Amino acid sequence: MTWREHHERSDAHAWDADIAKARGDIDSARRSFALAAQAEETAIGEISPNKARTYGVTVVSAASLYREAQLATEAERVAHTYLASGLLPEFAKTQLRELLHALWDEQARAAAGIDLAEQPLQFSVRGEMIFRGVAPLLLIEGIAKRVESMLYRVAELEQKYNHRLRGQPSKEIKSLIQPWLVQSAPGSYQFAITLRRPIQPPLLQAAEEPLAPARILERLMEIMQMSAKSPEDGLPQLVSDDAYRRTFLTLTRDLAPRGSTYQSLVISREGQSTDLILSSETRFSLNEAIRNIRRSVKDVTVELREYRGTLRAVDLNRDSLRLDTGKGECRINGVGDAVDDVIGPMMNRPVIVTAQPQLHSHPQFIDIEPDD
């Protein structure tokens, strides 16, 4: 048989595997990927290394297919054998090294007994101040904290909990939802967040089965995409509860850049070619959606005004917050439905508060965002 015949046989098995995977039949998918890998490896022997592109692509394809079949040892064997051969073109060596890097990360986690969900959310921060492997700590910390908050919120939404305004998630939610930061492939500045699979699922009041980590990650990606894509029409169909929807919009908005520290945040999941790009334009449209939700319950004829300063205090008894504007203190009332995990990260940091000025009292709170 020729290279083409072996390669086409491999591709046929790979198609079967993709279809089985889409159906959720993981065992069939693995078997088909294994057959595809074996056929592809056989194809390598039928092509001369002088045909550098075909040779390199086929070697990488064989190793990738073994990895998809979860045959890590075979994937390593192929990668090491051909890396050592001296026959591979440069592009194939680079791709095989990246594949080995990913495999070793997976094996290290498995050896440590840490069972992490596959297809983590990948975050890529881009901008003039962002370099390969280097980014401001506060920026990355802020993104990670907001994503953590959203993961808890998705779990609470799925479990039909009442929307939480104050305090931390319940112990049950925290035991089920354990976000982990994982090393991502080299890039501008990239990191990934996934969930650890619970060891012993605890009992939950409203749940019959534990929340699947993969489902939570998928749902969060859907919510963030819909928040950015169609915050006023599409998102209500995905998240019917007003309070949850407002919180997701606010947290997604706070992930998007204002354009100074970074220009865009790209969020993706492995295996899916559709990325979510959050930019300053996204922030603008989300601001409008958030303010329209809040504004609908207040006087829509009054102009909104921005108040800039450092957030110094949130007084729950008086339902207000206090800003240090640099020229004195400014009190804003009516923060009641602003949630802790939105306001918390902004304490003692520069913020912009949008509020409705009042004739005879303090301004009424509409929205708050970091001023970075």
Partner 1 sequence: MPPDDTMQATHGNELDATRDGACACVIAAVELVAGLVVISRARQGSGADYYVAPPGTDWEDLEELTRLEVSSIDHGVERQLRARMRQKIAQITAGAENSRGIAGVAAFRELQIRLATVEPT
DSSP state of 273: -
Q: Which is nearer to partner 1, 43 or 338 (CB)?
A: 43
Footprint on this chain of partner 1 (rule: CB under 8 A): 2-4, 7-8, 11, 14, 19, 22-23, 36, 40, 47, 51-54, 56-58, 60-61, 64-65, 68, 89-91, 94-95, 98-99, 218, 221-222, 225, 228-229, 264, 269-277, 279, 281
Q: How does strand 305-315 pair with strand 350-356?
A: antiparallel
Of 225, 227, 196, 192, the C-alpha closest to 213 is 196
Using the Cα atoms of residue 293, residue 296, residue 297 and residue 299 in order, give the sign of their dihedral: positive
Q: Where are the alpha helices (DSSP H) in 159-269?
A: 171-176, 213-229, 235-238, 242-255
Joined together, the tokens standing for residue 324 give 């240090």
Question: Cα separation of 147 and 179, whole Å?
Answer: 9
Closest to partner 1 by CB, 103 vs 366, is: 103
- From CA 31, how far away is CA 243, in angstroms rounded? 45
Minimum CB distance to partner 1, residue 131 (Å): 16
In the complex, the smallest distance separating the C-beta of residue 216 from partner 1, rounded to whole angstroms, is: 14
Least distance (Å) from partner 1 to the CB of residue 358?
Answer: 36
Measured from the CB atom, is 37 or 351 closer to partner 1?
37
Nearer to partner 1, 245 or 294 (CB): 245
Give the H or E element holding residue 343.
helix 340-343
Residues 72 and 106: beta-carbon distance below 8 Å: yes
Q: Supply the minimum distance, in Å, between the C-beta of residue 26 and partner 1.
A: 14
- Residue 202: CB minimum distance to partner 1, A: 28
Angle between helices 72-85 and 26-44 (to 10 degrees): 20
Please say which residue, 70 or 175, places its beta carbon nearer to partner 1: 70
Minimum distance of partner 1 from residue 352's CB (angstroms): 23
Q: What is the 8-class DSSP label of residue 197?
A: P
Residue 119 or 310 having the CB closest to partner 1: 119
